[in-house]
Structure 1
Amino acid sequence: MRSTPHAEAFPAHTPAAAQVFTAVLSHGPLTRLEAGRRAGLSAAAVTKAVRPLLAAGYLAEGADDDARPTPGRPAALVRVNGERALFLGVKVTGGELIAVLTDLCCRIRVARRRPLPDRAPGPVLASIAELVQELLAHAAESDAPVAGLGIAVSGDVDRAEGVVRYSPFLDWRDVPLADLAATTTGLPVTVDHDVRALTVAEQWFGAGAGLADFALVTVGTGIGCGLVVHGRVVAGAHGVAGEIGHVVVDPAGPACHCGNRGCVEAIAGESAIVARMRAVTDRHVTGVTQAVALARDGVPGAREVYERAGEAIGRGIATVANLLGPERVIISGEGLAAYDLFADQIRRAFTTAAFGSAARCDVLTRPLPFEEWARGAAAAAIQSFITHTPGTGQG
């Protein structure tokens, strides 16, 4: 890791310290007893883990103004000192960069957007560097070090190596983004799949907090899925766990960019909806906004396009429920702007295809702006900082 005026190492190098810190980060303020129960550690192990974190200022004793109401709870609480370190998060889309500066508790301090007219790696890196410098100027107003940068990208992303293996929306193959961004910005960099990064944020700070098993399904340009199993975000042996967008739900369906036919994404992704809408309505539909308008205006065949998409999504969610039995499935993404057009079909298809008690899974919709995706990238950087994940942005 390059020595910079920003970078700083987490003071505790043991798994126990990371477990305790993460428990307090997600659920705190907590007593040491509660932190140990959530982390599965003995009181002695918690005491040993907490000591260096308190000494270095990453944990503090006592509640702060942002603490959750805790009537009747003892006063001896441990909380994360959110002001101790800062992090940057960048979400890369096909046409825009969204960046945030957060504290250690992943609370957004500043958010910025920048158009992305050129998707080639060089121009994208240059734009990321400009946004990082802008946010570092804001960070300089604080005494806290900037401890990491997270970048979230859609597609096949190897987080351990920091390489974007394939991103269809950027048309990238084998781009060593973490190393390139670390060289450009001078910061430790974590590159992660955008949905997986958002899943980390939902697990720690959102609708998945406190759940051992849940799935996050995102609907929009693509259909993504992040999985948490037994309290851990699952990437799989090859980093592509949860790709329900490429679950085949109609073998005779439209061709998908992955090479198969009838994938959920080939039916319910935004480009698929727009293409189908053009064919069904014989209108010059150039984007999803027009497609939504046609469906809401009652143009013949338009509503059925969304109903078909909803059925595909519902079947994809049922596949996740049948395989993993999550407590909750959170549906999010920019595609929720049209949720009223296919909500019934999602629920109906899910209920029909879910086996037995899997149908009891709580299905929750949670619209999130792109700033939350950038916050997910920052959460991935915080996760790497805490756990000292190797291979993420060697500077």
Structure 2
Amino acid sequence: MEIRKGLGLQALPSMTLLRELTDQIVLDTVFEQAPVTRAEIAQHTGISKTTVSEAVRRLEAAGLLLPAGEQRGRQGRVGTYYKVAPTAGFVVAVDLNPTQIRVCAADLFGQPFLESSHVPVRPREPALVAGQLRDLVGQAVAEGAPGHGRPLAVAVSVANPVDPVTSRVVTLPDTPYPEGLFQPQEALDGTVDAPVLVENDVNLAALAERWHGAARTADSFAYVYVGAGMGMGLVIGDQLIRGARGVAGEIGYLSVSTQPPGPRHGRHGFARAVAAAGFHPPREPGSDQVAIDVARQIFDRASKGDAEARAVVEQEGRTIGEAIAAVCAVVDPELVLLGGPIGLHPALLEPVRATVQDLAPLTPAIEVGTLGDTAVLRGALALALRRARADLWAGAGRRPYEAPGRVAQ
């Protein structure tokens, strides 16, 4: 070994590591292709049939793979189909948002067996929302355990930033959401025996669009959420950018020249400019859905030719476009996706594009996200599945889970 180092040569991977990598690739292929034969795994992966057969034998002995019938109707040796054991485990995803709480429980192939939505308790005191979160996750676990085994991961989406080191929710000034005032991991302590993953909702929507939606071919893009507030999920070089403390992408805090001076100058500047455009009434308990309903009414009036409503839509589009232009000048994304209950409306697309064309150094493609209002929950589900699959493989005595540094699947 020392001679190899002296010659400037790298040591070859150990046989143990090579076996572990092969086993993981084979298991991942079964997740993606099941039911699948050993020959088909070899074809999909490029690994030799002999090596695949050895990996399948190890995984079957570890209880991770099960035979799923025989391949018939073909000449030659009869092949055996393999699948992951149906009782290997399941995941739970939760979308905590201002207007409702969505819950999805799914098997390890991402097939939901429970989907529900609930109106947050009123008044939305943090302790009450935390209690509702515990109840909903507890119900999902109780329903999933009999037919799917044990929960392997719970992913919770919150409307606040999340510290990338501690995974604790970060409370910011002017935040409208009580979810920022309690910690989901602490709220679920003792409720579920599985890792609890907490992530910002807009980041999760961006990941969902990268993995399953309009950004599948984009290594660098921005997902701009426009609802009761504004936020952005940013992926650069296939890396989700969270920032040192989790507040990267909080574009609602950008300052604008039209913002009135005062002690809060510079905070939620663009969000306040959007409100000034007429979409958002003054904030009060339960006003988030009201703001969205007002915006939809304005869109409807604009579509019928109402001049005042059309002017509001144009101003809203320009305000959003100014924020995007600022982002383009700093990070130069190849694609920008609009999302959120207001951002998804097609009437905003052209004024946003026109503003970015006017202001940005170079104009990226600007489109509407394809996953709609399911993006956040789908992102949470995908995050939980990634963790569960990695831990399932690690549970057979392999290497422990490590969070992926890249977001592409």
Q: Please, what TM-score do these two structures have when normalized by structure 2?
A: 0.69
Aligned match of 2:372: 368
How far 1:137 sits from its partner (Å)?
3.4
**Aligned ranges 1:59-138 → 2 under 5 Å:** 84-116=88-120, 117-138=122-143
Change (3 A) 1:346 1:118: same
Instruction: Name the aligned partner's letter for residue 154 of structure 2.
Output: L
- The farther-off stretch of 252-261 and 26-35 is 26-35
Q: Who is 2:349 aligned against?
A: 343
Identify the residue that residue 175 of structure 1 maps to in structure 2.
182
In 2, Cα distance between equivalents of 1:78 and 1:228: 36
TM norm structure 1: 0.71
> Which one of 299, 306, 325 corresponds to residue 332 of structure 2?
325
Deviations 1:209-262 (A, max 9, x none): 3432222222212222112222222212211222223233x3223579975167
Equivalent of 2:272 in 263, 266, 271: 266
Say if 1:310 and 1:342, in contact at 8 Å, map to a contact too.
yes
Check 1:201–1:262 CA distance in 2 against 1; reply closer, same or farther (3 A cut).
closer
Change (3 A) 1:61 1:184: closer
Q: Report the alpha carbon displacement of residue 351 of structure 1 after superposing the two structures with TM.
A: 1.6
Return the structure number with greater relative CO, CA threshold 8 A, min gap 6. Answer: 1
Q: CA offsets, 1:259-307, max 9 Å, x none? A: 516733223369962239xxxxxxxx95432343245335553322221
* Deviation of 1:184 (Å): 3.5
Q: Distance in 1 between matches of 2:219 and 2:30?
A: 16
| 1:70 paired residue number | none
Partners of 1:151 and 1:60 in 2: CA distance? 31
> Where in structure 2 are the equivalents of 1:1-395 lying within 5 Å?
56=62, 84-116=88-120, 117-166=122-171, 168-171=175-178, 175-248=182-255, 250-253=256-259, 259-260=265-266, 263-268=269-274, 273-275=279-281, 287-297=291-301, 298-299=305-306, 301-336=308-343, 339-356=345-362, 359-361=363-365, 363-366=367-370, 368-370=372-374, 372-385=375-388, 386=390, 388=401
Q: Are the aligned partners of 1:198 and 1:376 in contact in 2 as well (CA < 8 Å)? A: yes
Q: Which structure is larger by alpha-carbon Rg, 1 or 2?
A: 2
| Alpha-carbon distance in structure 2 between the residues aligned to 1:26 and 1:255 | 56
**Is the partner of 1:110 in helix, strand or coil?**
strand
Distance in 1, Cα, partners of 2:263 & 2:114: 36
8 Å CA contact 1:20, 1:50 repeated in 2: no
| Contact 1:91/1:152 (8 A) holds in 2 | yes
C-alpha distance in 2 between matches for 1:257 and 1:152: 31
Q: Give the counterpart letter for 2:381 in structure 1.
A: A
Asked whether the 8 Å contact 1:149–1:188 carries over to 2, the reply is yes
Would the aligned equivalents of 1:50 and 1:59 in 2 still touch at CA under 8 Å?
A: yes
- 1:91/1:187 Cα in 2 relative to 1: closer, same or farther (>3 Å)? same
Deviation, 1:383, is: 3.8
Q: Which amino acid aligns with 2:195?
A: P
Unaligned runs of at least 5 residues, structure 1? 1-11, 38-44, 63-74, 277-284, 391-395
Provide the rounded CA distance (Å) in 2 between the counterparts of 1:366 and 1:247: 27
Distance 1:225 1:22 in 2: 34
Whether contact under 8 Å (1:24, 1:79) holds in the other structure is no
- In the alignment of these two chains, the number of paired residues is 350
AA paired with 2:242?
A
Q: Could you say if the C-alpha distance between residues 260 and 146 of structure 1 is closer, same or farther in structure 2, counting changes exceeding 3 Å? A: same
The residue type paired with residue 111 of structure 1 is: E
- Compute the displacement of 1:189 (Å): 0.8
Letter in 2 for 1:93: N
Structure 2: which 5+ runs fail to align? 1-16, 35-39, 69-78, 283-288, 392-400, 404-409
Provide the alpha-carbon RMSD of the alignment.
Answer: 4.4
User: Per-residue deviation at 1:354?
Assistant: 2.4
C-alpha change, 1:27 and 1:184, in structure 2 (3 Å) is closer
**1:280 maps to which residue?**
none
| CA–CA distance in structure 1, aligned partners of residues 32 and 270 of structure 2 | 35
State the one-letter code of the partner of 1:273: F
Relative distance call for 1:267 and 1:178 in structure 2 (3 A) is same
